[in-house]
Structure 1
């Protein structure tokens, strides 16, 4: 009887020790996961910046680049908790995703502003645009508005008074050259240029594979307010976490600033934060 009692106590002790060990292992795993930060991004120089961030972030944090292939995946990855943050978009584009998906993404640090514009395989000056020319603009609402605002500022079209970053072609009140607008997915705009469409909106990142830089654009944007600056984005519930704070600090490091500053003449981008030096 005493042996049975002793065995029961011994077995109970083993169970308690095992449970404690399992709990410690789980805590260690949880802590490791909480210091590992996955950042979704898409193309250079954004992916390059993420890799620099991975090199400079303070311990114990580590950064992993999740490279995606389109303009939907990075937001879905963050919203579905497959990534902790993204670095691929400006705030108006993020707000569009939130509105369409009842999402809770928040934009945080502004890192750089890529100067977009219109390119032409036909003309060397915007003044050469002819009546009835086709114009390729992005199919997503925020970049469509951005493109139309640039054309409005140049006087090629006139937008209805009061429209802002929700402008569409339906808001055009004057179109003296009777320009024909074609909506194209942002990633396919370079193909529109290759197809000979006379006027094509594009980003420096996407037009570069064609051997073009903003120096070749016939019309560039003036976004002095940095409305379309590329920003770090996370979920609302994670934005104030220690890991995201550490991530933001790494994104605004001197190393990132120097990298962007070296690129600004070639890629027509401007860092939107000041370096440490």
Structure 2
């Protein structure tokens, strides 16, 4: 009988030990490890600064959250969206929402804004006048020729009172949508990368701070028209897919990219070029 009891006790201890070994670890970091024991990798596509700089900045924060953040460098904007749509990456970071929606419409996409990060301070500059009041009748205005930036430029001109639009709420505008043009402004469309050249030939020119900086100009000191600060439509966003935007890894990524560390980076390194949008 004693031998039987000893065997039963040993069996009980063995089973309890197995049960404890099968319990899931309490650490939240352990739950995002892959079968190999490595941290789960989150891949984000981007191709230029300051987006890549911001992603590099939050790698340690992602590691603390239990994830390995890998920056996938692509050659252009289209490639970044195709990679995200094809599930080759988990997110991308380079675009504003109207550009993303244009991609979705043309490619049956399901990309979605995960969070805004910063808003580039675009402006209109002049090589001939110091204020809008000095613009002469028939002045030449240079605007981008791509749909989203052309729309952005026309909405800014409308907000300044220089023109009126037939649909002020639209984000798909052309020069033909101008309903009132009191100064008979003459519009010329340029490629985004050629707007510095346009500045030399026009009376009023739209441009991004990154490009106009080569001419020694700053939006807040030299811009004659600035985008209304409350308008965050064109803020640069972290984009994901509808299917994964609420996943644990995207939640961790959103938290990291909306951190005080990133806010300080934008306010310090991008001062005069961009403002925090989160």
- Where on the TM-score scale, by shorter chain, does this alignment land: which range? 0.7 to 0.9
User: Is contact 2:42-2:67 (8 Å) kept?
Assistant: yes
Which of 34, 39, 46 is the aligned partner of 1:41? 46
CA shift, 1:178, in A, is 2.1
Quickly say closer, same or farther: Cα 1:121–1:69, change in 2 above 3 A: farther
Quickly say closer, same or farther: Cα 1:56–1:209, change in 2 above 3 A: farther
CA shift, 1:89, in A, is 1.7
SS of match in other structure, 1:238: coil
* 1:212 to 2:211 alignment: no
SS of match in other structure, 1:57: helix
CA shift, 1:218, in A, is 1.7
Partner of 1:18: none
- Give the structure with the higher percent helix: 1
Partner of 1:12: none
Quickly say closer, same or farther: Cα 1:191–1:272, change in 2 above 3 A: same
Equivalent residues in 2 for 1:123-142 (5 A)? 123-142=129-148
**C-alpha deviations, 1:80-117, integer Å up to 9, x for none?**
33332111122122111111111110101121222211
User: Is contact 2:143-2:190 (8 Å) kept?
Assistant: yes
CA shift, 1:68, in A, is 4.1
Superposition TM-score, scaled by structure 1 size = 0.78
Quickly say closer, same or farther: Cα 1:68–1:126, change in 2 above 3 A: farther
Aligned-residue CA RMSD in angstroms?
A: 2.4
Runs of 4+ in 1 over 4 A off after TM superposition: none
Structure with larger Rg: 2
CA shift, 1:43, in A, is 3.3
**1:56 & 1:182 partners in 2: Cα distance?**
46
**C-alpha deviations, 1:126-166, integer Å up to 9, x for none?**
33323323322222222212111111122211111454222
**1:262 & 1:68 partners in 2: Cα distance?**
27
Where in structure 1 are there 5+ consecutive unaligned residues?
1-26
Partner of 1:77: 83
Alignment coverage as a number of residue pairs: 243
CA shift, 1:52, in A, is 1.0
Superposition TM-score, scaled by structure 2 size = 0.77
Partner of 2:230: 224
**2:264 & 2:169 partners in 1: Cα distance?**
37
* 1:182 to 2:180 alignment: no
